[in-house]
Structure 1
Amino acid sequence: MALLLPRRAGRRTNVGLLALLLLAGGTGVLAFAVGAPGPARLVVAAHGAAGLGLLLLVPWKALVVRRAWQRRPAGSGGVSLGVATLLTLATGALHAGGGTGPWSWSAGVPVLHVHVALGVATGALLVVHAWGRRQRPRATDLGRRSLLRAGALGVGAGALWGAGEGLLRLTGAPGAQRRATGSFERGTDDPAAMPVTQWISDAVPGSPAAVLVLAAPGRRVRVPVADLDQGDVVRAALDCTGGWYAVQDWRGVRLDRLLASLDRELPDGGSVDVVSVTGFRRRLPLSEAGGLLLATHAAGRPLSPGHGAPVRLVAPGRRGFWWVKWVARVEVVDAPWWLQSPFPLQ
């Protein structure tokens, strides 16, 4: 069953492309925020299906472009958008497949970062391209026939994604081994093999804190970092938004045990700010303190400076940018944890 008849290619094709581009962009951003395997798998699948679904509309879009060029030669904006979209799809497919040779980490830059950069550029070009071509909603957009076409497009996109995943497994490609988030294993039980990455402008400090400041309303104590290795162990996956993950046995002190030393009644529904010596910070629910760890060791070895020495936060089920490095202060606050930027601005 054809999704659209070629002779009727036009507005519906463009609306379908716009919907898929918006879905791909939205799920791409969401994939950076979701770390739990179940939700992450759904988000990554939707992202991949939306991207591959664009290919299903290429024949109809080619007809639209040909007709437009016959009426008036096209400018460079549409061409730039098309090229950026194809390059975004290509780098996304390259990452999903596991990369080949130097492509996986070219010049020290993960191919996933190239994919993200191209995706941002595609979004900007899409806004420019669509600005002068705004379409008013029509009642037929939600009609039975339109919904059936949209459903057929969704099924086709999902089938294309599923076929790609099946091909990776059938051929034994590296992409078949990636985690639910789309990340590849690098350095499990071997911290020295983990890539050293920072979030945006954050950098390894020259003088890490030797004392941890622990604070709550009406109470502040200073804890020597050397006293934080209290033997608590958590096995958890550090899943970086750079496209890699590593599972380690992290050792240090559970955050709830450390907060108990404040000898204060902590606020119900409160949060805890974990702040780096660099100023990087994340706020987490106080109710999760029992599952959080301030780690001084990984796989039985002291942390290296690049991995957060002398102490870093371990936040199982959250992406790497939540795992604050070089922790200098932990403060209990009476404010909701979600009252912050979804992604660090530093």
Structure 2
Amino acid sequence: MPTGALPRRAGRRTNLGLLALLTVTGATGLLAFGVGTPLPARVVAAAHGAAGLGLLLLVPWKSVVVRRSWHRTRGRRDPAVAWALAALTGLTVLTGVVHSVAGTTVGGVGVLQVHVAAGIGTGLLVVLHAVGSRQRPRRGDVSRRALLQAGGLAAGALALWAGVEGGLRLTGAPGGRRRATGSHERGSGDPAAMPVTQWFTDTVPDDDGSALALVAGGRTARLHAGDLDRGDTLTAVLDCTGGWYAEQEWRGVRLDRLLAGPDLPDGGSVDVVSVTGYRRRLPLADAGSLLLATHCAGRPLSAGHGAPVRLVAPGRRGYWWVKWVARVEVVDAPWWAQPPVPLQ
């Protein structure tokens, strides 16, 4: 075997391992925004955390690869993209760990927001770096040895993640009390202490939308917000993609009570639209578990929390909980015929 063959192959395996872990972290990071129910959320969060920490396991091997390639390609390739990728990857892992441990906010900016921004930047640089490396798939990339090494890397990453999670619980750190989605508790039972956030494309409106249009069965009804406080209560967790959650008792009217009628389509959906134009579409079959809330913890909603009416959607992440509801419409289109996250 040529003396340089083993280092080249080892370097290729290291790079492929890094690429696989970065792909998993990116995919699970995106998936985590949409998963709100406990078991699926825990699986996605575990895969995301393990893949992110698994990057650390390959640092010793990657450092050897970098030193060798530095001497071989010095003066022939601009290393700026590679160094920027390394820096952003390190920042992404660091902020992910800090959020997991404490979920802190600095200067009004959450560590999770920095983590997401750094992760997006990392993904873009991974594409640039991969294109620049010009490596092509080979038959040996799926050999038995390669698969065993991949399994060993996955096992090591999961063990590292489990060790960190166990340490957080044993030490009583705030991160040990995170929800399955990775969110930290903020303001449960106290709406005034609950953060005021909204999807980044949305803003608190000047018009409070006190009149709500209900469109169902070919008929349109205009309801005042005061007509929607019918005493229906629901205890549900608002789990924001900003990294926090709060459990509150919400009061208003169940959506199925408003939509009851013989002219509703089988398998239809319901569009919930805000004064701002923000909207989400949900299955009509879920109407019995959805609430149009006017109160939170016995108090009228504040403007920042969606007054006068907001949607409460248990088991879904916060961006489904439409604020400042102005229109509810039953439609024939399937609920999944919409962007996975709001674009407006």
- Shorter-chain TM-score tier: over 0.9
Q: For 2:22 and 2:134, locate their aligned partners in 1 and report how far apart those are by CA, in whole Å.
A: 16
Partner of 1:302: 300
Partner of 2:83: 79
Shift of 1:140: 2.0
- The amino acid of 1:162's aligned partner reads A
Equivalent residue of 1:245, what SS?
strand
Instruction: Name the CA shift for 1:72/1:138 in 2 (closer, same or farther; >3 Å).
Output: closer
Q: Which moved more, 1:270-279 or 1:7-16?
A: 7-16
User: Does 1:55 pair with 2:71?
Assistant: no
TM-score by length of 1: 0.95
Partner of 2:3: none
Equivalent residue of 1:132, what SS?
helix
Partner of 1:343: 341
- The amino acid of 1:92's aligned partner reads G
- The amino acid of 2:231's aligned partner reads G
- The amino acid of 1:148's aligned partner reads L
TM-score by length of 2: 0.96
- The amino acid of 1:197's aligned partner reads T
| 8 Å contact from structure 1 (residues 6, 63) kept in 2 | no
Partner of 1:267: 265
User: Does 1:311 pair with 2:309?
Assistant: yes
Equivalent residue of 1:33, what SS?
coil
Partner of 1:14: 15
Q: For 2:134 and 2:34, locate their aligned partners in 1 and report how far apart those are by CA, in whole Å.
A: 31
The count of corresponding residues between Structure 1 and Structure 2 is: 336
- The amino acid of 1:214's aligned partner reads L
| 8 Å contact from structure 1 (residues 9, 63) kept in 2 | no
User: Does 1:231 pair with 2:231?
Assistant: yes
| 8 Å contact from structure 1 (residues 186, 244) kept in 2 | yes
CA RMSD in angstroms, aligned pairs only: 1.2
- 1:115-130 aligned at under 5 Å gives the runs 115-130=115-130
- 1:69-148 aligned at under 5 Å gives the runs 69-73=70-74, 75-99=79-103, 104-148=104-148
Partner of 1:277: 275
Q: Unaligned regions of 5+ residues in structure 2, if any?
A: 1-5
| 8 Å contact from structure 2 (residues 201, 343) kept in 1 | no
| 8 Å contact from structure 1 (residues 97, 168) kept in 2 | yes
Q: Which moved more, 1:204-213 or 1:153-162?
A: 204-213
Q: For 2:106 and 2:312, locate their aligned partners in 1 and report how far apart those are by CA, in whole Å.
A: 29
Equivalent residue of 2:33, what SS?
helix
Shift of 1:174: 0.7
Shift of 1:136: 2.2
| Percent of residue pairs bearing the same amino acid type | 68
Q: Unaligned regions of 5+ residues in structure 1, if any?
A: none
Shift of 1:142: 1.8
Shift of 1:7: 7.7
The runs of at least 4 consecutive aligned structure 1 residues that moved more than 4 Å come to: 5-8
- The amino acid of 1:86's aligned partner reads G
